[in-house]
C-alpha cells in the first residue's frame, strides 16, 4: 500500500480529461482575461491592507525591502508555474502538478494546503474590504457600529484624526510618545465583521451564475483600481515627509521578527500572501481558450506589473504617515485622509478603487477554491458532490456554496493578522512543492512537450524553493502550529476516505 502512495497520474490521462467537453467547464477566458485575472487577485490586499499592517507590526518603512524579497521569490516560482500551466492545462493548479510528478499522497498534501490558501485568502481580503467600505460610507455620513466591523473579540481604540484601530503595544507606545494618554480615548470590543460576511455571500452568488460574467466583472474592477493606484502614487509623492522614513529600518525590539532585519524577513513572509494571484490564474487553465499560449503570459505579466505597483505604494504610504498608525483594515485610506481637506475629493475615489480591487481579489480566490475541490473530487479523493457542475451555468455550484459559507464564518470571527499569516504559510508551501516538482519532471519525463520552459533549471526552481522556505521559517511559531493542525486533519480525511476512493489506486488494483 505504501508504494502506491507515490503513484503518479499519467500525463496523457490529464490531457485527455482537459480535451473532453463532456461535463467540462465553458472555455471562455482569453489571454487578456487571464492577465487581468492575475492582476485582479494580486493587486488588492497587498496594497490596500497588508502594506500598512506589515509595516506597523514588523518592518516599518523597510516594508519596501520585504516586497522586493517576496517579489524575487515569486518571480522564481512564477516561472515554474508558467511551465506547468502551459504543459498541463487542468483546473487544480499545484495539486495537479504534484499528482503528475510526486505522486498521489503528496498531491493530497498540496491540495489540502491549497484549500487553506484560497479559503482563508478570501476571508482575509473581505476583512480589508470591510474596512474600506466602512470608511467610504463614513465620508457620506453613514456610520456602521464599530462593534460590527471587526473580528470577534478584537479590542479597538478611537484615535483622533485616524479613527478606530486595533490596540497593540507598539501603538500604545507611539501614543505615549506623542503625548496622548490611551486611557482617555474611547475603547470597545468587536462582535463580528458583518460587511466582510456580506461581500463573500454576494460574490459567491456571482460565481455560481457563470465564469464569463465573473471575468467581465473582474476586468472592470482591475481597470478602476490600477488607474486610481497610479493616481494615488503620483499625488502622494507631493505629501511625502522624509522624516517618516527615519529610521528606515526601525531598531529591533529584542524579539525576533519585530523590526530590524528579522522584521523585514517576517514581513516578507506575511505579505507573500499578496502575490498569490498568479497562482489563482493556473486554477482557471481548463476554462482558457488557448492555455498553452496564454497561461504563461497571464502568470508572468500580472506578477511583474503588480510587483512594481506594490513597491511604489509602499514607498509613498510610509512617507505620508508614520508606519505606527497603519495597523488598520484601511491603511491607504489613512494615508489619503492625512493629505488634508483640500484633497477630500481624492478620498472617495481611492476608497472606491480599494473596494473594487478587494472585490476582484475575493472573486478570484472564491473562484479558485471550488475548482481545486472539483479536480480532487474527479480523482476520487473527495466526495462526488464537489465535482457537480450546474447544468445551466456550467460552474461547480455546490462546492462554491460550501466554500462561501465557510469563508463567511471565518471572515466574521477571525482577525486579519491570523488569516493573513495562515494564507502566507499555505502559499509558500505550495510554491515550494511546485518548484521542486519542475526538477523532478525534467528528470523523469524530459521528452514531454513544453510550450513554455522554465530557464536555468535546476537553478531557478532551487532558488524559488529556497526563498519560499526562508520566508516560511520567518513566520511565527503559532502560524506553523496552525498549519500542522490543518495538515493533520487532512491526513485523517485522506486515510479515512481518499485512499479508498482514489480512482487512480482502484484502477491500478484492477
DSSP states of 438-488: HHHHHHH-TTS--SS--SSTTHHHHHHHHHHHHHHHTS-HHHHHHHHHHHH
Pairing of strands 155-159, 187-189: antiparallel
Give ∠ CA 348-354-355 in degrees, rounded to 5.
Answer: 85
pLDDT (tens digit per residue) in 171-221: 777 677 777 877 778 778 878 899 999 999 999 988 887 656 566 776 787
CB 288 within 8 A of CB 294: yes
> Would 163 be classed as within a structural domain?
no
What CATH number corresponds to the domain at position 8? 1.20.1740.10
> Would 179 be classed as within a structural domain?
no
CA distance 252 to 263: 8
pLDDT score for 1 = 47
Q: What is the pTM of this model?
A: 0.75
Find, among 109, 108, 112, 103, the residue nearest to 10 by Cα. 103
CA distance 232 to 237: 8
CB 364 within 8 A of CB 277: yes
Reading the chain (510 residues) residue by residue, the pLDDT tens digits are 445 677 888 877 776 766 665 545 566 677 777 887 788 778 876 677 778 888 988 999 999 999 888 888 888 988 898 888 778 776 656 788 788 878 899 889 988 988 877 888 888 888 888 888 988 888 888 888 888 888 777 778 877 766 777 776 667 776 777 778 777 787 788 788 999 999 999 999 888 876 565 667 767 877 888 888 899 999 999 999 999 999 999 999 888 888 999 999 888 877 776 777 677 777 677 677 777 777 788 888 888 888 888 899 999 999 999 998 887 767 888 888 888 888 888 888 888 888 887 887 788 788 878 888 888 898 899 999 888 887 777 778 888 899 999 999 998 888 777 777 787 788 888 888 889 989 988 988 888 888 889 999 999 999 999 988 987 887 888 889 988 999 999 999 999 999 989 988 777 666
> Would 232 be classed as within a structural domain?
yes
pLDDT score for 3 = 53
Angle between helices 291-320 and 63-87 (to 10 degrees): 170
CA distance 205 to 203: 5
CA distance 137 to 163: 14
> Would 172 be classed as within a structural domain?
no
Angstrom distances, CA of residue 488 to CA of 94, 109, 495: 20, 10, 11
> Would 177 be classed as within a structural domain?
no
CA distance 164 to 186: 9
> Would 182 be classed as within a structural domain?
no
349-354, long-range: CB within 8 Å, 24+ apart, which pairs?
349/228, 349/231, 350/228, 350/231, 350/232, 351/132, 351/135, 351/136, 351/139, 352/136, 352/224, 352/228, 353/224, 353/225, 353/227, 353/228, 353/229, 353/232, 354/48, 354/128, 354/132, 354/225, 354/330
Total structural domains in the chain? 1
CB neighbour list of residue 380: distance below 8 Å, 6 or more residues apart:
498, 501, 502, 503, 504, 506
> Would 181 be classed as within a structural domain?
no
> Would 406 be classed as within a structural domain?
yes
**Helix (H/G/I), strand (E/B), else coil: 158:** strand
CA distance 352 to 106: 42
Domain span at 109:
2-154+190-504
Q: φ, ψ for residue 44 (rounded to 5)?
A: 180, -100
The burial of 17, by beta-carbon neighbours within 10 Å (0-12 exposed, 13-18 middle, 19 or more buried), is given as: middle
pLDDT score for 17 = 66
CA distance 19 to 28: 14
Amino acid at each position: 500500500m505504501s508504494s502506491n502512495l507515490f503513484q503518479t497520474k499519467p500525463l496523457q490521462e490529464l490531457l485527455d480529461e482537459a480535451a473532453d467537453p463532456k461535463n467540462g467547464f465553458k472555455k471562455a477566458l482569453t489571454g487578456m482575461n487571464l492577465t487581468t485575472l492575475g492582476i485582479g487577485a494580486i493587486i488588492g490586499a497587498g496594497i490596500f491592507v497588508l502594506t500598512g499592517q506589515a509595516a506597523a507590526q514588523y518592518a516599518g518603512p523597510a516594508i519596501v525591502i520585504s516586497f522586493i524579497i517576496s517579489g524575487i521569490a515569486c518571480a522564481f516560482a512564477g516561472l515554474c508555474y508558467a511551465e506547468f500551466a502551459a504543459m498541463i492545462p487542468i483546473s487544480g493548479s499545484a495539486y495537479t502538478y504534484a499528482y503528475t510528478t510526486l505522486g498521489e499522497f503528496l498531491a493530497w498534501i498540496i491540495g489540502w494546503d491549497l484549500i487553506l490558501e484560497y479559503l482563508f485568502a478570501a476571508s482575509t481580503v473581505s476583512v480589508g474590504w470591510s474596512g474600506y467600505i466602512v470608511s467610504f460610507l463614513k465620508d457620506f455620513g453613514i456610520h456602521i457600529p464599530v462593534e460590527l466591523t471587526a473580528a470577534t473579540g478584537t479590542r479597538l481604540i478611537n484615535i483622533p484624526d485616524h479613527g478606530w484601530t486595533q490596540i497593540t503595544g507598539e501603538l500604545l507606545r507611539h501614543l505615549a510618545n506623542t503625548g496622548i494618554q490611551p486611557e482617555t480615548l474611547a475603547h470597545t470590543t468587536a462582535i463580528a465583521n458583518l460587511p466582510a460576511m456580506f461581500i463573500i455571500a454576494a460574490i459567491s452568488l456571482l460565481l455560481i451564475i457563470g465564469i464569463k460574467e465573473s471575468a467581465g466583472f473582474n476586468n472592470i474592477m482591475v481597470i478602476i483600481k490600477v488607474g486610481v493606484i497610479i493616481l494615488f502614487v503620483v499625488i502622494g509623492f507631493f505629501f511625502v515627509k522624509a522624516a517618516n522614513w527615519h529610521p528606515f529600518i526601525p531598531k529591533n525590539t529584542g524579539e525576533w521578527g519585530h523590526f530590524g532585519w528579522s522584521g523585514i524577513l517576517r514581513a516578507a513572509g506575511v505579505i507573500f500572501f499578496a502575490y498569490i494571484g498568479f497562482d489563482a490564474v493556473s486554477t482557471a487553465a481548463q476554462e482558457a481558450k488557448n492555455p498553452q499560449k496564454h497561461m504563461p503570459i497571464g502568470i508572468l505579466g500580472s506578477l511583474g506589473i503588480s510587483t512594481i505597483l506594490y513597491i511604489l505604494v509602499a514607498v509613498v504610504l510610509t512617507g505620508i504617515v508614520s508606519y505606527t498608525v497603519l495597523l488598520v483594515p484601511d491603511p491607504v485610506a489613512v494615508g489619503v485622509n492625512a493629505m488634508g481637506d483640500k484633497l477630500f475629493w481624492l478620498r472617495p475615489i481611492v476608497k472606491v478603487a480599494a473596494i473594487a480591487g478587494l472585490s476582484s481579489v475575493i472573486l478570484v480566490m472564491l473562484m479558485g477554491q471550488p475548482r481545486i475541490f472539483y479536480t480532487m473530487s474527479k480523482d476520487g479523493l473527495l466526495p462526488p458532490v464537489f465535482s457537480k457542475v450546474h447544468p445551466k451555468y456550467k460552474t461547480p455550484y455546490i462546492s462554491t456554496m460550501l466554500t462561501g459559507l465557510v469563508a463567511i464564518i471565518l471572515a466574521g470571527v477571525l482577525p486579519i493578522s491570523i488569516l493573513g499569516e495562515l494564507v502566507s504559510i499555505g502559499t509558500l508551501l505550495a510554491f515550494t512543492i511546485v518548484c521542486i516538482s519542475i526538477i523532478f519532471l525534467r528528470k523523469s519525463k524530459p521528452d514531454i512537450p513544453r510550450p513554455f520552459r522554465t530557464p536555468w533549471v535546476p537553478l531557478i526552481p532551487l532558488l524559488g524553493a529556497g526563498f519560499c522556505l526562508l520566508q516560511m521559517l520567518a513566520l511565527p511559531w503559532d502560524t506553523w502550529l496552525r498549519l500542522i493542525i490543518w495538515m493533520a486533519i487532512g491526513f485523517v480525511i485522506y486515510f479515512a476516505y481518499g485512499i479508498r476512493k482514489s480512482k487512480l489506486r482502484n484502477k491500478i488494483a484492477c
